[in-house]
């Protein structure tokens, strides 16, 4: 009699899922800001818009701040990138876009997906712009090219799109690490968005 093979779950995936669930429970802002489930999507949208506006204000006023305050605000923005990875890993990779089942209308699912992805991508671009701008202010030799406000946003966009025109070049180790990290997030974003779209499509069918 043929034995049934004994299948085991991946150790890496299992541990990563546990880490993502733990981080989602303890290190994401909605868990502390949103106190009830009423209009939760609207509340999340409002929170994201507020943070995006505040990040733009930080970017535009970095050169006016004391160095310690600018560095502190830049460090706080690490949480936004961390939350992006955690929330999208949980909702799009492990839960296959299940969060969108609250929208019975497929059109609403698509609209909210586009809106939330767009806001998160804008937030990522502005966050890296802040880091590039701050690094350019603290260590001007970190980049070949002036890290003005416009140039910081421009460099963040072309890095995220993996275009790399070469007019601004990272020189220092920290600058190169930031560029590598942002480029890696581009491929992560492609994976989760495509995964989410496919999952939602087949669930609707």
Please determine, for residue 130, whether its predicted confidence score (pLDDT) is greater than 60.
yes
Percent of the chain with pLDDT strictly greater than 70: 81
Specify the 3-state DSSP secondary structure of 169: strand
Q: What is the mean predicted confidence (pLDDT) over 36-45? A: 76
Please determine, for residue 142, whether its predicted confidence score (pLDDT) is greater than 50.
yes
| Between residues 160 and 164, the one the model is more confident about | 160
Q: Could you tell me the maximum CA-CA distance found in the chain, to the nearest angstrom?
A: 77
State the Cα torsion 69-73-75-81 to the nearest 10°.
Answer: -170
Cross-strand pairs, 170: 143
Please determine, for residue 41, whether its predicted confidence score (pLDDT) is greater than 90.
no
Q: What is the mean predicted confidence (pLDDT) over 45-68? A: 93
Taking the model in full, what pTM does it have?
A: 0.86
Quote the DSSP letter at residue 66. -
**pLDDT band, very low/low/confident/very high, at 12 (cuts 50, 70, 90):** confident
Are 74 and 87 within 8 A, CB to CB? no
Architecture of domain 20-27+36-204: Orthogonal Bundle (1.10)
Q: What is the mean predicted confidence (pLDDT) over 17-35? A: 82
Cross-strand pairs, 84: none
Output the CA angle 179-185-189, nearest 5 degrees: 150
Return d(Cα 63, Cα 108) in angstroms, integer: 41
- Give the gyration radius of the chain's Cα atoms: 20
Please determine, for residue 3, whether its predicted confidence score (pLDDT) is greater than 70.
no
């Amino acid at each position: 009699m043929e034995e049934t093979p004994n299948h085991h779950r991946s150790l890496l995936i299992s541990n990563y899922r546990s880490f993502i669930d733990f981080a989602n429970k303890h290190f994401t802002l909605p868990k502390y800001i949103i106190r009830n489930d009423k209009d939760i999507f609207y509340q999340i949208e409002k929170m994201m818009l507020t943070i995006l506006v505040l990040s733009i204000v930080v970017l535009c006023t970095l050169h006016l701040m004391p160095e310690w305050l600018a560095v502190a605000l830049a460090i706080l923005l690490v949480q936004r990138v961390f939350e992006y990875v955690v929330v999208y890993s949980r909702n799009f990779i492990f839960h296959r876009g299940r969060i969108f089942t609250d929208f019975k209308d497929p059109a609403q699912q698509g609209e909210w997906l586009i809106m939330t992805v767009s806001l998160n991508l804008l937030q990522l671009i502005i966050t890296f712009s802040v880091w590039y701008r701050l690094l350019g202010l603290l260590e001007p030799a970190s980049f070949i090219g002036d890290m003005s406000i416009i140039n910081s946003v421009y460099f963040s966009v072309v890095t995220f799109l993996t275009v790399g025109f070469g007019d601004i070049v990272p020189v220092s180790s920290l600058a190169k690490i930031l560029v590598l990290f942002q480029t890696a997030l581009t491929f992560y974003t492609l994976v989760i968005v495509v995964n989410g779209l496919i999952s939602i499509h087949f669930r609707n069918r």
